[in-house]
Structures are given as structure tokens and as C-alpha cells.
């Protein structure tokens, strides 16, 4: 159990909902949602530093997010450049997640 005393079932629901949000993201138009999910996962990672099980679930969710962002960015090859603000949100999300993976 994490030191911050959130019930494990509640924590599982939070992580599950974040994973669902990442899975539901369809493309660059969801960049803000992906950035928000990355922020939440990075914060959960910091909070769960003493709980191995929670860290594992957060790590898995972060890896899914990296995969989703990478897939969206690969879709830009040969296409018209995306809106710079949306691209910035995607890059920020990737930086947040990659920073917490290290």
C-alpha cells in the first residue's frame, strides 16, 4: 500500500481510467488529453515510489502512452504538418512520460 493512503481499489480505477483515455485517443486532435494523461501518470509515478505493484501498473500505462504517441507521430510522415500547438502538446506528453520512465 502506498504511503499516501489511497485505497488500492481506487488507485486501480484511476490507472484503469487513464489507460482507457490513452487507448481511446484517436490522433493528433487528442494531444491535449494525452498530455494530461502523461502528467497524471508522471505524478502517480512519483507518489508510488515506495509501492512496487503500483509502480509496475503505472509503468505499463506509461509505456502504452509512449506507444500511442509514437504511432501518432509516425502518421505524420509524408503528410501535411500538423497544427504546431497540437504537436507541441504531443511532444510535451512524450517528454513527461519519458522523463518519468528513466
Total residues belonging to the chain: 102
Cell of 33: 488529453
Cα 70 to Cα 26: distance, rounded to the nearest angstrom: 12
CA pseudo-torsion sign 36, 20, 63, 43:
positive
The domain segmentation of the chain, as residue ranges, is 8-101
**What is the value of pTM for the model shown?**
0.83
Q: Which pLDDT tens digits describe the chain residue by residue (102 residues)? A: 445 566 777 888 899 999 999 999 988 899 999 999 999 998 888 877 777 888 899 899 999 999 999 898 888 877 787 889 999 999 999 998 887 655
CB 93 within 8 A of CB 31: yes
Amino acid at each position: 500500500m502506498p504511503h499516501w493512503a489511497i485505497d488500492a481499489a481506487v488507485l486501480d480505477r484511476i490507472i484503469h481510467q487513464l489507460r482507457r483515455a490513452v487507448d481511446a485517443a484517436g490522433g493528433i486532435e487528442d494531444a491535449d488529453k494525452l498530455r494530461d494523461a502523461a502528467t497524471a501518470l508522471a505524478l502517480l509515478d512519483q507518489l508510488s515510489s515506495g509501492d512496487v505493484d503500483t509502480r509496475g501498473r503505472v509503468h505499463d500505462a506509461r509505456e502504452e502512452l509512449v506507444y500511442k504517441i509514437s504511432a501518432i507521430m509516425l502518421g505524420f510522415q509524408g503528410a501535411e504538418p500538423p497544427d504546431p500547438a497540437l504537436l507541441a502538446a504531443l511532444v510535451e506528453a512524450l517528454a513527461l512520460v519519458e522523463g518519468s520512465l528513466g
